[in-house]
Amino acid sequence: MYTLGTRPMLLTDDELERSAVVANCRMNRERGLAGSNGYDRELGFEPIAFLKAHARPGRPAAWLDLCCGSGKALIEAALMVQAGRLDAVIVGVDLVGYFLEPGPEVNCLTLVEASWRDWHPDRAYDLITCVHGMHYVGDKLGLLARSVSWLTEHGRLAASLDPSNLRLSGGEPGGRVMSKDLRAAGLVYDRRRRLVLCDGRRDAALPYAYLGADDRAGPNVTGQPAVNSYYRRTGGCPDPSPRQS
């Protein structure tokens, strides 16, 4: 046990990825594309409609979903994409490869079992989402910064984030100051939906050094056990202007 203002013994990335909290069976395992617990409701927009708006002749619209869980929502989306003859590709990445079977008729979806800390895409994406998966990531700010660099020029990032899981080096809450630094780097925090949003590809090097994570943080806003991420502030924020192609 520890008290506010103190830092617990922190886990390394390897230790965190073996944690029962991170590999829990409830993380997006049953979440569908629509409905009361669906992606549409959590994100505040319909991913398929977003893909339709960003499809171009000869270039498929592309969606990357981080921490995709079983891939249930993505399989539903892929079936809709193919039924509507929309030119699109969908990729889901999760640390634990307990994926549902898409079926042989699904050919626009790829589900990847990989660690978030060293996985890199081979293309840019029009849409990048992370629905309640960031709660279990160690270096949350690092993943956000990497993710916005994977966007297309007019792409969008939407990632769930509970600021209470962000801590400064001494153990004190860091959500408020980190939200300001995210905003300075061109990312917006929607407090009502608890989403980090970014429109357009950016280089968002945030002024923090990741120190480690604590998987004993207890339940966060979701009511499920989550991971606190610890950072040391390293300096000022860079120019938030979008990266030029």
pLDDT of residue 26: 55
Pair of tokens at residue 115: 């660690």
pLDDT of residue 238: 45
Architecture of domain 13-232: 3-Layer(aba) Sandwich (3.40)
Pairing assessment for the beta strands 88-94 and 166-168 based on DSSP bridges: unpaired
Digits of tens for pLDDT over the chain (245 positions)? 344 456 678 999 889 988 888 876 555 567 899 988 899 999 999 999 999 999 888 889 999 999 999 999 999 999 999 999 999 999 999 998 889 999 888 999 999 999 988 899 999 999 999 999 999 999 999 999 999 999 999 999 999 999 999 999 989 999 999 999 999 999 999 999 999 999 999 998 899 999 999 999 888 988 888 999 999 999 754 444 445 43
Pairing assessment for the beta strands 61-66 and 125-130 based on DSSP bridges: parallel
Nearest-angstrom CA–CA distance, 184 and 176:
13
Among 202, 77, 76, 208, which residue's Cα sits nearest to residue 140?
208
Among 198, 184, 193, 201, which residue's Cα sits nearest to residue 237?
184
Nearest-angstrom CA–CA distance, 149 and 209:
18
Residues in the chain: 245
Nearest-angstrom CA–CA distance, 162 and 174:
11
What's the Cα-to-Cα distance from 209 to each of 15, 230, 241, 242, rounded to whole Å? Answer: 19, 9, 22, 22
pTM of the model: 0.91
pLDDT of residue 173: 92
Nearest-angstrom CA–CA distance, 119 and 91:
12
Q: Locate the domains of the chain by residue range.
A: 13-232
Residues 195/44, Cβ–Cβ less than 8 Å: yes
Nearest-angstrom CA–CA distance, 111 and 143:
19
Element (H, E) at 196: strand 195-199
pLDDT of residue 97: 84
pLDDT of residue 154: 94
pLDDT of residue 21: 86
pLDDT of residue 30: 78
Nearest-angstrom CA–CA distance, 167 and 77:
35
pLDDT of residue 3: 46
Pairing assessment for the beta strands 151-160 and 195-199 based on DSSP bridges: antiparallel
Pair of tokens at residue 197: 């949003």
